[in-house]
């Protein structure tokens, strides 16, 4: 796209950030491990839910090595309340990869990070930026909202590949970490004060309702099995009784899938973690 004058935009974001900066513990982290934990926790989860869990989690698992060697049951216990428990499994796998393949040092190459499940294009680059202050170009929901509002006002069905050149053009090469935090904070402000600019995006995905969803049943299964083991009939009875939408056939499919994914175990008619 044609190069636009972005100086007024950059000044606007810096001025906003100077007065309205949000504070989170991971923004002060110097340990790359803490950044990896926060970035995976923040996927599809609001900051107000992540903050208390983040503090508990890094106090319990304080390093790549500590999390790599933890039991899955222990990890799930400290992940409770964040949802998408599969992310906790991916996070441990990343830690094991760092320990086994990279001598405990997180690679600074986003292309390498992308090889790990649970770390996509944007997360790989956000980790490199926030952990090492390396200038990369990436888009997440709040960043997208900012560029849609400032450069595509009134337009619809805007694709990320239309936004990305502007992201690349405006990124602060000297302090990309602070620049992206500023963008995210301004994006949160916009969503709280005007109709959500993300509606202009071709990539907007509205999260499905939690109530009555498969996610709700999976989360309930994990919570129950963190407390104790259950035989098949008892677990099935509890789930189908507590959640009317969880039919016996649907719950059996979910249980089988969770076994295949290695989220839960089943042996001698006993489910566990």
Mean per-residue pLDDT, 73-83: 96
Q: Which of 34, 24, 111 is nearest to 66 (CA)?
A: 34
DSSP notation for 164-204? HHHHHHH--SS-HHHHHHHHHHHHHHHHHHSS-GGGGBTT-
Mean per-residue pLDDT, 221-243: 97
What is the CATH class of 214-272? mainly alpha
Cα separation of 230 and 188, whole Å? 43
Cα separation of 130 and 19, whole Å? 21
pLDDT at 100 over 80: yes
To which CATH superfamily is domain 31-132 assigned? Answer: Hypothetical protein; domain 2 (1.10.340.30)
Catalytic residue numbers read: 39
Mean per-residue pLDDT, 159-174: 96
Domain chopping of the chain, boundaries: 7-22+136-200, 31-132, 214-272
Give the start-end residues of each E strand in the chain. 230-231, 265-267, 270-272
pLDDT tens digits, 119-157: 999 999 999 999 999 999 999 999 999 999 999 988 999
């Amino acid at each position: 796209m044609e190069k636009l004058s972005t100086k007024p935009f950059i000044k606007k974001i810096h001025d906003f950030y100077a007065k309205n900066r949000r504070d989170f513990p991971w923004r002060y982290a110097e340990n790359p491990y803490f950044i990896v934990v926060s970035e995976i926790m923040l996927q599809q989860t609001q900051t107000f839910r992540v903050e208390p869990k983040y503090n508990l989690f890094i106090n319990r698992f304080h390093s790549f090595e500590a999390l790599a060697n933890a039991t899955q049951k222990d990890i799930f216990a400290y992940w409770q309340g964040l949802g998408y428990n599969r992310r906790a499994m991916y996070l441990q796998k990343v830690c094991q990869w760092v320990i086994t393949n990279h001598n405990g040092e997180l690679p600074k190459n986003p292309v390498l990070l992308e090889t790990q499940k649970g770390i996509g294009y944007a997360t790989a680059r956000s980790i490199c930026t926030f952990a090492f202050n390396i200038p990369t170009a990436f888009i997440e929901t709040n960043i997208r909202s900012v560029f849609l509002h400032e450069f595509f006002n009134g337009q619809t069905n805007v694709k990320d590949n239309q936004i990305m050149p502007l992201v690349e053009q405006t990124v602060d090469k000297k302090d990309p970490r602070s620049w992206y935090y500023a963008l995210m904070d301004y994006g949160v402000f916009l969503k709280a004060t005007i109709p959500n600019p993300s509606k202009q995006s071709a990539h907007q995905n509205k999260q499905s309702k939690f109530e009555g969803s498969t996610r709700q049943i999976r989360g309930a299964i994990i919570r129950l099995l963190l407390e104790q083991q259950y035989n098949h009939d008892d677990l099935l009875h509890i789930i189908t009784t507590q959640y009317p939408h969880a039919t016996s056939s649907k719950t059996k499919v979910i249980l089988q899938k969770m076994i295949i994914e290695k989220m839960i175990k089943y042996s001698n008619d006993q489910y566990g973690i």
